């Protein structure tokens, strides 16, 4: 199964956000540190799996995507790397201010992993674009 249209991609992302938000509220209401840590891990896995099934214009639909390729365009990878990096920095600030805990640390690590994956994708896609230009 591959998602190639913006509408289908938006629907998948909306479902991921909705499920993530509901589980976050549930684990927060239950005061479950373990649940929040598991949710951070699941979010990284889910976002990575989504990048495996999304395809951009001109990208082969049937072929497997390279493990490092998170998006079809360097700019999008760069923006998402910056967003995840910024969210991690903000959460580090909250942790230093005393709002941290094991689940906060897991969340920061998850954000850093996603930022690194998107940054690697940005670097490699930029290199590919220069090599083919």
**Predicted local confidence at residue 75, as pLDDT:** 95
Residue 74 lies in a domain: yes
Residue 15 lies in a domain: yes
Percent of the chain with pLDDT strictly greater than 90? 61
108: tokens are 């920061």
Q: How far is CA 120 from CA 50, 58, 105, 111, in A?
A: 17, 21, 22, 14
Structure pTM? Answer: 0.88
Residue 1 lies in a domain: no
Residue 64 lies in a domain: yes
Chain center to CA of 117: 8
**Predicted local confidence at residue 89, as pLDDT:** 97
- Give me the domain span that covers residue 89: 6-132
Number of domains the chain contains: 1
């Amino acid at each position: 199964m591959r998602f190639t249209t913006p509408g289908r991609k938006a629907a998948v992302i909306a479902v991921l956000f909705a499920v993530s938000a509901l589980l976050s509220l549930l684990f927060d209401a239950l005061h479950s540190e373990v649940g929040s840590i598991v949710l951070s891990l699941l979010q990284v896995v889910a976002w990575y799996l989504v990048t495996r099934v999304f395809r951009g214009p001109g990208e082969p639909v049937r072929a497997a995507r390279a493990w490092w390729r998170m998006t079809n365009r360097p700019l999008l990878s760069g923006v998402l790397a910056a967003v995840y990096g910024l969210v991690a920095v903000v959460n580090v600030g909250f942790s230093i201010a005393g709002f941290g805990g094991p689940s906060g640390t897991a969340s920061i690590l998850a954000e850093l992993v996603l930022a690194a994956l998107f940054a690697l994708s940005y670097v490699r896609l930029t290199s590919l674009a220069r090599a083919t230009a």
